[in-house]
Amino acid sequence: MGAILLTYLGIVIAFSSEVAISGTDTYLGGVFILLSTITYASYLVGSGWLT
């Protein structure tokens, strides 16, 4: 669990510098990407691929 949190923290740190360049819609795109990754991870865990 700690590795996942560390990974997402790194993504947030890398992503935060892009927000000032790209504008406010970047947050919306980031939310969609985050929801997509959570959905896909849930699918992988639920289907048994990661057991």
Domain borders along the chain are 2-47
Q: Mapping DSSP to helix (H, G, I), strand (E, B) and coil, where does residue 42 land?
A: helix
State the DSSP code for 17.
H
pLDDT of residue 21: 63
Q: What is the pLDDT of residues 1-51, one digit of tens each?
A: 677 778 888 888 887 777 666 677 877 888 898 899 889 888 888 887 766
| 30 touches 15 (CB < 8 A) | yes
Answer whether 0.95 is exceeded by the pTM: no
